[in-house]
Amino acid sequence: MRLILLTATSALVLAAVLHAQSAPPALPACMQNAPPVNVEARDVSVAKVLPFLGASCGVEIRVEGVEETGAMRSLPNIRFQQAKVVDIFRMLVQASGLTYRVVDERTIVVTKQ
């Protein structure tokens, strides 16, 4: 009985750890609390739009090592209306096959997966 309880507890702890590791890191509070924005850009790459999003609330978003990814391809039109900054950021990062790391409340580094 003790072995079954220990095994079940270990499985639950392992599942919680794996889930925590796979969850995206929390973005800075100023990006999460920013009011909805309108974004419209033409003939621009995702790598150039991301730093613009961070600059709206004083966060430096550095895009590094993405030269051979879709993030460098120029898109004819990027348009969001009344969207949250964090939602735009996450959608662009995910759609481009990128990942990000939050260094501190004022710095995010975006790289390829």
**Per-residue model confidence (pLDDT) at position 14:** 52
Strands (E), the chain: 37-45, 60-63, 74-83, 98-104, 107-112
Backbone phi, psi, residue 24, to 5°: -65, 145
Whether residue 60 contacts residue 1, with contact meaning beta carbons closer than 8 Å, is answered with no
The predicted model scores a pTM of: 0.76
77, containing H or E segment: strand 74-83
Residue 71 — pLDDT band, cuts 50, 70, 90? confident
Helix axis angle, 46-55 to 85-95, nearest 10°: 160
Which residue ranges form the domains of the chain, and what is each CATH number? Answer: 25-112 (3.55.50.10)
| pLDDT per position as a tens digit, 10-66 | 555 555 554 445 567 789 999 999 999 999 999 999 999 999 999 988 999 999 998
Q: How far is CA 62 from the centre of its chain?
A: 12
